[in-house]
């Protein structure tokens, strides 16, 4: 019998989780039939619809950070935790409004299914420097991201049911690797949709049910004191300023995280981006508000007696719902962590196969070879991530994700991607320097107190003045700024690529309008037919009928 905090409900958690994982494997098996090319494996052949894309974009990013981290942060800081959405919501809105359509069009025009390949083509980098650096950074940070999510899933399973961390890590890791390897992007997108829908429902039901039982939590928080009802958690001066900046700076990571950006590249039609954006924004707003209230109600229900704040969400779930329903919700929370892991695993795989192997080793490799290698690399990277997860199982998930994975990708990749879509003057040299500075600054900032202590400057991080609070700000804030400055300065000092004006004209027109017979390298809005003509729904149906040999039969 399980002996974790779930008690008797632990049996429901284990049973529901097992059934849930079988569903995910089924999705992977079904999706494996839809893969013909490496485009299908990496971005779903640009055939994923807007609703699934919108859900998948959010589910791929939120993971254990939303399901466990945000409620835990609200439990620690009170009302100020609602600032978790301060940077994320407007940053994601900017990404959909200012980047999605451009990236979807431009990546198809240059026939790129990964960001490193897109950078190399857009910046006309024949040396392979930008592609090589960005691919290495993706493998490094996304690989750690995968391990962090598996750690979170294994830890939660242990807390809930009492099983050993190794069992949880192996169970979650094997399933994630299995359905990602089998089905590629199709499996990842549909599993994210499935998981995201359950998590969204949970973060609606939990606060509503808590409200009907306990009323609004704000009077109770004020009575507890400690700044829990304050929008600055009781902080004043520079501490409050840099505390708010730290929350807002989290949003700077969105443009640089490829598992989010690849959703823009994989949507079926450019015109569907608006609907996908609405779905994603509604998901994000409701989920962040709901997760914050879960943490506040945790304070009302349990007081200050929870030592491990990651347990707030599962404990409130167990308190408010019957065992069988709590089992479904908590199994979905576990799966939400895996929904990020599968997306990040797919991005890391594409960096190895498409950007390194196909880009440098065998440019003429067939689609069959690339798909087979993608599956093998997914298996190898997944196994490595499982090992990493077990080694790092005692490291806080919040640290692994925000400091090293999310922040590193945001500072290194984000400025170059934004510039590539909006600034004609950006150069390959500037991008390479920006990536190195951004990643290096982010890593250094996480170890800043140790570095300053070794230099005899440890006193700078103490006290309440401007310098001390600035040095304690979330590292993505200074890393992103430095990365942008280096990108601009170096690009202005180096030779820009040629012919970019023609490509930028595409952003203001439908793809069909720029496709001409004398430019056969341009793709169409359909994503799979590269003939120089517009592809309509009727054309697509005819193509499927022809491929099926229907009339011959």
Residue 370 pLDDT > 60: yes
Q: Spell out the CATH class of 11-510.
A: mainly alpha
Encode 33-69: b = buried (16+ Cβ within 10 Å), e = exposed: ebbeebbbbbbbbbbbbbebbbbbbbbbbbbbbbbbb
Domain spans, the chain: 11-510
* Three-state DSSP class for residue 490: helix
Query: Is 381 within 8 Å of 136 (Cβ atoms)?
Result: no
Cα separation, 306 vs 72, whole angstroms: 10
Who wins on pLDDT, 548 or 229? 229
Summarize the confidence of residues 212-237 as an average pLDDT. 86
pLDDT at 526 over 70: no
- Return the number of other C-beta atoms located less than 10 Å from residue 29's C-beta: 14
Q: What is the mean pLDDT of residues 118-127?
A: 87
User: In percent, how much of the chain has pLDDT > 90?
Assistant: 13
| Residue ranges in 251-366 assigned as alpha helix (H) | 258-266, 273-302, 312-320, 323-350
Question: Among 33-37, 108-112, 481-485, 521-525, where is mean pLDDT lowest?
Answer: 521-525
Confidence of residue 440 (pLDDT cuts 50, 70, 90): very high
This prediction has a pTM of: 0.79
The two counts, helices (H) then strands (E), for the chain are: 25, 0
DSSP assignment of 411-477:
HHHHHHHHHHHH-TT--HHHHHHHHHHHHHHHHHHHTHHHHHHHTT-GGGGSSSSHHHHHHTS-THH
The closest of 376, 390, 286, 350 to 118, measured between CA atoms, is: 350
Place 25 in a pLDDT band, splitting at 50, 70 and 90: low
pLDDT tens-digit profile of 329-355? 777 677 666 666 766 777 777 777 777
pLDDT at 534: 35
């Amino acid at each position: 019998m399980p002996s974790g905090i779930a008690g008797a409900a632990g049996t429901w958690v284990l049973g529901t989780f097992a059934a849930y994982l079988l569903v995910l494997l089924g999705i992977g098996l079904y999706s494996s039939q839809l893969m013909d090319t490496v485009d299908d494996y990496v971005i779903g052949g640009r055939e994923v619809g807007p609703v699934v894309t919108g859900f998948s974009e959010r589910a791929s990013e939120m993971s254990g950070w939303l399901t466990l981290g945000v409620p835990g942060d609200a439990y620690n800081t009170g009302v100020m935790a609602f600032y978790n959405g301060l940077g994320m919501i407007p940053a994601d809105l900017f990404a959909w409004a200012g980047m999605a359509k451009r990236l979807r069009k431009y990546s198809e025009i240059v026939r790129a299914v990964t960001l490193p390949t897109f950078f190399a083509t857009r910046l006309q980098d024949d040396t392979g420097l930008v592609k090589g650096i960005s691919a290495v950074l993706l493998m490094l940070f996304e690989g750690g991201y995968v391990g962090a999510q598996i750690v979170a899933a294994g830890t939660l399973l242990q807390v809930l049911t009492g099983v050993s961390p190794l069992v949880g890590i192996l169970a979650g890791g094997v399933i994630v690797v299995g359905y990602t390897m089998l089905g590629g992007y199709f499996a990842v997108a549909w599993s994210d949709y499935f998981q995201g829908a359950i998590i969204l429902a949970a973060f609606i039901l939990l606060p509503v049910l808590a409200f009907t039982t306990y009323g609004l939590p704000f009077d109770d928080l004020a009575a507890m004191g400690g700044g829990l009802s304050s929008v600055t958690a009781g902080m004043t001066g520079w501490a409050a300023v840099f505390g708010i900046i730290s929350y807002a700076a989290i949003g700077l990571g969105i443009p640089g995280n490829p598992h989010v950006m690849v959703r823009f590249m994989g949507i079926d039609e450019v015109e569907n981006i608006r609907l996908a954006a609405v779905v994603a924004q509604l998901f994000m707003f409701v989920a962040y508000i709901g997760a914050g209230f879960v943490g506040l109600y945790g304070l009302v229900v349990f007081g200050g007696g929870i030592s491990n704040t990651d347990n707030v969400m599962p404990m409130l779930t167990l308190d408010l719902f019957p065992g069988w329903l709590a089992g479904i919700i908590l199994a979905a929370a576990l799966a939400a962590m895996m929904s990020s892991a599968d997306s990040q695993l797919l991005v890391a795989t594409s960096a190895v196969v498409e950007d390194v192997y196909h880009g440098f080793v065998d440019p003429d490799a067939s689609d069959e070879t690339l798909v087979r290698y993608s599956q093998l690399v997914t298996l190898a990277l997944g196994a490595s991530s499982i090992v990493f997860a077990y080694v790092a199982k005692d490291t806080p998930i919040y640290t692994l994700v925000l400091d090293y994975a999310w922040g590193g990708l945001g500072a290194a990749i984000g400025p170059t991607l934004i510039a590539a879509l909006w600034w004609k003057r950006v150069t390959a040299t500037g991008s390479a320097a920006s990536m190195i500075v951004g990643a290096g600054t982010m890593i250094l900032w996480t170890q800043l107190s140790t570095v300053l202590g070794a230099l005899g400057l440890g006193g700078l991080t103490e006290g309440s003045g401007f310098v001390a609070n600035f040095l304690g700000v979330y590292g993505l804030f200074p890393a992103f700024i430095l990365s942008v400055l280096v990108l601009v300065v170096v690009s202005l000092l180096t030779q820009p690529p040629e012919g970019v004006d023609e490509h930028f004209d595409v952003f203001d027109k439908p793809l069909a309008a720029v496709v001409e017979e004398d430019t056969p390298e341009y793709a169409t809005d359909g994503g799979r037919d590269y003939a120089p003509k517009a592809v309509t729904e009727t054309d697509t149906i005819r193509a499927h009928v022809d491929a099926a040999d229907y009339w011959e039969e």
